[in-house]
Structures are given as C-alpha cells and as structure tokens.
C-alpha cells in the first residue's frame, strides 16, 4: 500500500505569515496548500509565490470552486498550482470545465466533500473524469466536538474502494491516524496543528513518523 502524503493547509490571513510557516514546514511535508482563507485574503499571488519558492512541491489551491470552473482553473494552474479544489455541490459542468483546464497544465481537480452528498454523486464525478476527493470534517464540526466515527471511516474506505484518491482532513493529528490504518489514503491534510505548534518542523516530522508507522512501504 502506497504511503500517504502529508499536506499542510496554510490558512493564514496574510501571505507573509503563510510563507514564514511554509519555510519552516516545507522540508517535512509533501504538499503545500494555499488554503481557502489565504486564497480569499491574498488571491492567486499566494499560489504563484508558493510555486516560485517551492518548485519541487505539490501546490494546492483550495478555492472550493462552485462556478466559473474554467476561469478559476486557468487563474490558479497558470500560476503553478498542481491541484485545485471544487465544492461537491458545484454543477457537474463546473467540475468538468475545471478538469479540462487542469489537464492542459498536467494538473488535477479534487472534489471537497461538505454537507449532503451521495455515492450516486461520486459515480457521476467519476464519469466526468474526477479521480480525487477530500473527506472533510470542517471547523464548525470540530468546534461542536464531533470526532471521527465509524461512519466517517466507512465512507472514506468506500470512496477508496471506488478508485478515488482520498485525502482526509479536519483537526487531524498523529494520534488519529491509527483509525485509518488499512485504507489507501492518498493524503492527510493538517493545518493549524502544524503551523501553530511551538516547533512546526518537529510537529510535521512527528506526523510523518506516524504515517510511516501505520503505512509501512
């Protein structure tokens, strides 16, 4: 089973602070994400700056696109994004338009799963050509005290069994990873727990060690 990647979501309100965090963490992660908050605060220059500074990393633009798929995709992929996100409630036409642009740049589009979605929707996404999904436990769910449960794990496993490359996010720490053992997770995404840690580099290393422990090559 392929070892999952580790992604840091940079959800800062300004690019300078995001880059400070990125420089500390980048040597210890596989994927750098211009998070939704950073994208709204700083625009596409966040993607451009990450690409210029970290040319070897996978760069994600977490736009959660809901419309204007081709336009948004052109904006971020032309500036160096590897992947971009669309929200699961976006029209299929929006997803497909974004994916067509992504392919022009040898990139990919991820469907971010929020709220009400079904496996019938997932099958339609596959028909369009989408191959990645992000299973998300959002900030509000975390604040309400909702932890990872058997239903979450089963949905993630089912998506992986369908052939999706599934990324998992939502208040994740190294201590949570045992719950996902045996599932071919594509990527674990962590944000504030990494870049607000007293030693962000050490926190990322600890996360990578946990991944290696449960997904031995």
Active site residues: 36-37, 64, 67-68, 72, 112, 136, 139
At 148-168, the pLDDT tens digits run: 889 999 999 999 999 999 999
Q: Which of 179, 184, 175 is nearest to 209 (CA)?
A: 175
Domains of the chain: residue spans and CATH: 5-214 (3.20.20.70)
The per-residue DSSP string of 83-146 comes to: EEEEETTS-HHHHHHHHHHHHHTT-EEEEEE-SS--HHHHHHHHHHT--EEEEE--HHHHHTT-
pLDDT > 90 in the chain, percent: 89
pLDDT > 70 in the chain, percent: 96
Mean predicted confidence (pLDDT) in 26-41:
98
Return the higher-pLDDT residue of 178 and 146: 178
At 68-100, the pLDDT tens digits run: 999 999 999 999 999 999 999 999 999 999 999
Give the pTM. 0.95
């Amino acid at each position: 089973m392929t070892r999952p990647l580790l992604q840091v979501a940079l959800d800062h309100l300004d690019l300078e602070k995001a880059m400070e965090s990125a420089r500390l963490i980048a040597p210890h992660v596989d994927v750098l994400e211009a998070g939704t908050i950073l994208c709204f605060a700083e625009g596409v220059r966040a993607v451009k700056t990450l690409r210029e500074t970290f040319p070897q990393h996978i760069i994600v633009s977490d736009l959660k696109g809901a419309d204007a798929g081709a336009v948004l995709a052109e904006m971020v992929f032309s500036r160096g994004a590897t992947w971009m996100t669309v929200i699961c409630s976006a029209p299929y036409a929006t997803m497909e338009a974004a994916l067509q642009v992504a392919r022009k740049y040898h990139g990919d589009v991820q469907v971010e799963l929020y709220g009400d979605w079904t496996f019938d929707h997932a099958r339609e996404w596959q028909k369009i050509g989408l191959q990645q999904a992000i299973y998300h436990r959002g900030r509000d769910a975390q604040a309400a005290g909702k932890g990872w449960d058997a239903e979450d794990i089963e949905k993630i496993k089912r998506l992986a069994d369908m052939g999706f490359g599934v990324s998992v996010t939502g208040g994740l720490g190294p201590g949570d990873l045992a719950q996902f053992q045996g599932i071919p997770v594509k990527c674990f995404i962590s944000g504030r727990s990494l870049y607000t840690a007293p030693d962000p580099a050490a926190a990322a290393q600890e996360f990578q060690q946990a991944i290696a422990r449960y997904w031995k090559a």
